[in-house]
Structure 1
Amino acid sequence: MAVAREQKVTRPPLSQKEAGAYYTPDAVTESLLSWALRSESDRMLDPSCGDGRFIAGHRNSVGIEQDLAASELAMTRAPWALVHEGDFFAWASNTPERFECAAGNPPFIRYQTFKGEVRDRAMSLCSRVGAKFSGLSSSWAPFLVATASLLQPGGRLAFVVPAEIGHAPYSAPLIEYLSAHFAVVHIVAVRDKLFPDLSEDCWLLYADGFGKHTEEIRFSAMNTFRKMSAPPKSFTRVSMVDWREWGRRLRPFLMPLAARSLYRGVIADKDTRRFGQLANIGIGYVSGANDFFHLRPSDANRLSIPKQLLHPTVRNGRALPKRRLTTSTVGKWHQDDEQVLLLRMPKSGRVPAAVSRYLDSEAGFIARQAYKCRVRDPWYSVPDVQIPDFFLSYMSGLEANLVRNDAGCTCTNSVHSVRLREGVDAGGLLDQWESPFVRLSTELEGHPLGGGMLKLEPREATQVVLPAESVLQGISNPVIEEALTTLREWRHYAVAK
């Protein structure tokens, strides 16, 4: 058994979520190995070898694994392999070794926990080889750039990747790097889940000819994965120019060509607007202690909180009705004694005695320890409370819901606040929003979330396309409906509903 122990690991084994480790099904492993390997003499690298299922498939392999328990499994499974225990980026920054190919399933650790020295080393290494990632990058993308930098000229990559490669902004530097350093870049989208226990979808990445470059992405879309000895022969050639014009996203290429052409044509029309041209779109307020700052009407009465310091609020998108939020809906919330009254305290001025008692209660003592409360002055004054013209659901099932605020409510950061720009007439906005074309635009400009949900960040919402009424009337709805159904199926809404 060849083992390189780079550091003594004394901590408990990492949880699956901490390690970003979801082990690869055999059919996927065997396929990716077939794609990457050309001969028995090829030296192969797995930068996050986990329990060793990739390095076990090839006798001339090197694996890196940060988790002691997993690396011991890998050594047992592949006793002929050289297994390094430790941080891949530290090893990659110093090793003189180079490889004919690399294959595996890199850890998917989101930016919130991909931090500290490991992240610094990753970003430094990637920057040196020409790939600059934002602070929001998850771990897998830098993993692949660092791995590619260790290839021999002509080398190959074959990896499982999150489906976020098709839409996440942080994946764009990876694709730019791959196209600038490989002769072939092939991304295989798989609709059915490769990992049934994982909410995120996964696709496959193949790159060949390290040291050269390409001006296109080969893009294949398949409903169900099957074992393949080579990447799919059927693919769409997506030029790098087209990819960039579509916002550096591949997800639009899941739609038929007719729908893409129609969509681009509408964007080019001089009377077409983006939602951000009509309105400011942002998140609602962050209270820091929701249970404390949101009261039920019965509690507000019991505590004698002055009514002028209580404001009805929308706490999540599920509370929103269709089209309009009216005073009758708010009255129903009161009747049902729902926790929808925000304690809206000004930053200065006298605090009523009843409010002081509430602030000094046990619940108030706990609330003021919360981070968002602790760092503001005064801690009990919730900032950024706005009364928007419309609400927009942040995460949606069938479709993103735009609701006019006829009741004068505010909203938390679980819902988007939409405030019209000065002089904008929104008389027909709701009807426009509910058209099939705009529904399709929310699918394209937003992105899938686990569990079949559609997520629409404020930045994405500003890009939703709003055609002129005359243009809407001339759009072929069957083409749009087909594309809309396709994108919903790819985010598994039909399964989740």
Structure 2
Amino acid sequence: MILKEDSSEQKLRGAYYTPLKLAKKMVDFFKDDLSIKSILEPSCGDGVFVDALLESQFLSQHKRVTAIEIEKKEAEKLSEKLKDNSNIDVVNGDFFEFYHKHKDMDTYDLILGNPPYIRYQYLEEKQRSEMAEILTSHGMKANKLINTWVGFMVACVHMLSDNGKIAFVIPAEILQVAYAEDLRLFLSNKLSKITLLTFEELVFPGIEQEVVVFIGEKGDSEKGIKIVELNNLEDLENLNIYENGFQKLNHVHEKWTKYFTTIQENQLISDLKRDNRFQTLSETGIINVGITTGNNKYFSVNKKIVEKYDLTDVVRPLIGRSSHAHSVYFKEEDWKENVDQGKSAYLIDFPDTLLEKYSRGQKDYIEFGEKNGENTGYKCKIREKWYQIPSVWVPDAFFLRRNNLYPKFVLNCCAAVSTDTMHRIKFKEGIEPERIILSYYNSISFAFTEICGRSYGGGVLEILPGEVGKVLVPVLDCVPLEKIREVLHQVDQIVRNGENIEKALDIVDNGILKEYLGIDEKMCSMSRGIWKKMQHRRLKRG
């Protein structure tokens, strides 16, 4: 965690100034709308949106602008620059305070800008309570994960006139993160039309912050949501946001990444969820995060450390990182290969017994940890005995948490354990693990990993236990176990040899899904298309 006193002024203010080209285009979207008479810019910074309004001669038709800026110097500079523009009112103040004073008196026909991206821990206590009141008064939960831009969006939508429009530059997190799920539902309920512009290239030079342009409109007739994918700011030149292509919004808690798919693809996804030939992974067993050691570097050790500190009797085989998993079957020989390569392939699992019963070497390792402060992290510090890891159990399988091309689903064949870099699965009684592992390696299930997971900077796909549980897999009970094993060994060899995983998907799609379950070619090919499209979009940001 970055402490407030160690953070840059820019980070504390959440100020990432918008390129003029983007601001001008956002203004340009509304230049012909004669219904717009009042405009609000809730965090005007250096005044780039006001500049764009002036350059486009948008303000020549008796329009009034209220521009708010919390930084006194910035507000003074802007006031001086705009002193000859009587229809622009620059307010030096906190927008949250402004909202609470004006929320029941003033509305605006257009609200545009780039709200600050400030994490909860960097806010003053007064700002925290003001934002919490904004959220809870609109039926949303307030928590410590929520960023200020969420509060800005809710407050600004509240202040729109009956047919008002909003255009914001906001983090692309709005599409998928859990802390914004209440916001997504709120926006889908309050706005009749939502357009999201995404960019392959970063908009803010030198800043690893992926953003979208959010354009929303109030109105009586609901049109839905549309996502437009652009390469860079140059693509804005010929963009017409009023062209059709809207999809009906579901007024539920959901990720908006699903709207990157077409109406036909979304229909397929809905059909698959209702198809009794499929089940979710959560129906097959318990899916938990891997072991939370509190200090992976200390508790995950290599063979040299095991031998040096006499740890042989207190270690377990460990599959500690995604780079340790090169196969579908994780066998003892795979683990030994990791050991021989000097990898941290052992997890220390000190027994719950008196310390004096430990060997001299084991005591030395604990003392070594205390000397180097390995026991001072939060997770270790709150334990009765900091060196004893809780909740250590051997799972049937592992599902990788963070992934590049695709998440591996790995069968545990050597009583290994994993840290929280992987999820651990314990199948229900009576379930044959190989059936479930094989059921994952097909085009339909791979599409669901991209739909259910979330992408981050660098093109990484992260999928959490609850999201793994929502991945749809075919029920293979009708397939003979000999056939399951035959095909799974083929998949295992493809993974071991580093071949294109689509070769494995072809084998399972054709030899299992079509042959035994009667799933048609169109379902498989459309699902493959969804997976590749969403994977490609994610990897482009790598």
Picking from 299, 305, 318, the partner of 1:299 is 305
SS at match of 2:334: helix
Match of 1:267 in 2: 273
| Alignment check: 8 A CA contact 2:411 2:434 kept | no
The yes-or-no answer on 1:323 pairing with 2:328 is yes
| Alignment check: 8 A CA contact 1:311 1:343 kept | yes
| Alignment check: 8 A CA contact 2:296 2:419 kept | no
Match of 1:4 in 2: none
SS at match of 1:411: coil
Distance 1:198 1:385, change over 3 A: farther
Could you give the per-residue CA deviations for residues 378-427 of structure 1, whole angstroms, max 9, x where no partner exists?
11111122211111111111111111111221111121112212222222
Report the CA distance between 1:327 and its aligned residue.
1.2
| Length, aligned pairs only | 479
Which residue identity is paired with 1:280?
A: I
Match of 1:143 in 2: 152
SS at match of 2:224: strand
Could you give the per-residue CA deviations for residues 260-319 of structure 1, whole angstroms, max 9, x where no partner exists?
2322222211231001111211211222223322222112212223x1211232222222
Could you give the per-residue CA deviations for residues 209-246 of structure 1, whole angstroms, max 9, x where no partner exists?
3xx555442314233353369861223332233x64xx
| Alignment check: 8 A CA contact 2:200 2:541 kept | no
Tell me how far apart the structure 2 counterparts of residues 71 and 280 of structure 1 sit (CA, whole Å). 55
Report the CA distance between 1:248 and its aligned residue.
2.2
Match of 2:261 in 1: 255
Could you give the per-residue CA deviations for residues 325-376 of structure 1, whole angstroms, max 9, x where no partner exists?
2211221222222233222113333333322222223654511222211111
| Alignment check: 8 A CA contact 1:284 1:412 kept | yes
Match of 1:64 in 2: 68
Report the CA distance between 1:428 and its aligned residue.
2.5
- Matches for 1:270-349 after TM superposition, within 5 Å: 270-305=276-311, 307-349=312-354
Deviates more, 1:32-41 or 1:98-107: 32-41
The yes-or-no answer on 1:234 pairing with 2:280 is no
Deviates more, 1:417-426 or 1:400-409: 417-426
Deviates more, 1:361-370 or 1:451-460: 361-370
| Alignment check: 8 A CA contact 1:51 1:77 kept | no
Tell me how far apart the structure 2 counterparts of residues 41 and 484 of structure 1 sit (CA, whole Å). 42
Which residue identity is paired with 1:159?
A: F
TM-score by length of 1: 0.86
TM-score by length of 2: 0.79
Of all paired residues, the percent bearing the same amino acid is 20
SS at match of 1:388: coil
Report the CA distance between 1:433 and its aligned residue.
1.6
Report the CA distance between 1:35 and its aligned residue.
3.3
Report the CA distance between 1:23 and its aligned residue.
2.2
Picking from 444, 457, 466, the partner of 1:459 is 466
SS at match of 1:408: coil
Distance 1:167 1:410, change over 3 A: same
Which residue identity is paired with 1:266?
A: L
Distance 1:94 1:431, change over 3 A: same
SS at match of 1:240: coil
Tell me how far apart the structure 2 counterparts of residues 12 and 360 of structure 1 sit (CA, whole Å). 32
Report the CA distance between 1:437 and its aligned residue.
1.3
Match of 1:354 in 2: 361
Q: What do you get for the CA RMSD once the two structures are aligned?
A: 3.1
Tell me how far apart the structure 1 counterparts of residues 80 and 536 of structure 2 sit (CA, whole Å). 41
Tell me how far apart the structure 2 counterparts of residues 161 and 432 of structure 1 sit (CA, whole Å). 38
For structure 1, the residue ranges without an aligned partner over 5 or more in a row are 1-10
Distance 1:198 1:484, change over 3 A: farther
Tell me how far apart the structure 1 counterparts of residues 325 and 111 of structure 2 sit (CA, whole Å). 49
Which residue identity is paired with 1:106?
A: P
For structure 2, the residue ranges without an aligned partner over 5 or more in a row are 55-63, 476-512
Match of 1:478 in 2: 525
| Alignment check: 8 A CA contact 1:56 1:78 kept | no
Which residue identity is paired with 1:62?
A: T
Could you give the per-residue CA deviations for residues 44-85 of structure 1, whole angstroms, max 9, x where no partner exists?
322222332123333654333445676566557656655445
Match of 2:452 in 1: 445
Report the CA distance between 1:114 and its aligned residue.
6.2
Distance 1:465 1:364, change over 3 A: farther
| Alignment check: 8 A CA contact 2:70 2:92 kept | yes
Match of 2:435 in 1: 428
Distance 1:387 1:58, change over 3 A: same
Distance 1:183 1:278, change over 3 A: closer
Deviates more, 1:382-391 or 1:451-460: 382-391
Distance 1:483 1:379, change over 3 A: same
Tell me how far apart the structure 1 counterparts of residues 171 and 362 of structure 2 sit (CA, whole Å). 49
Report the CA distance between 1:448 and its aligned residue.
1.3
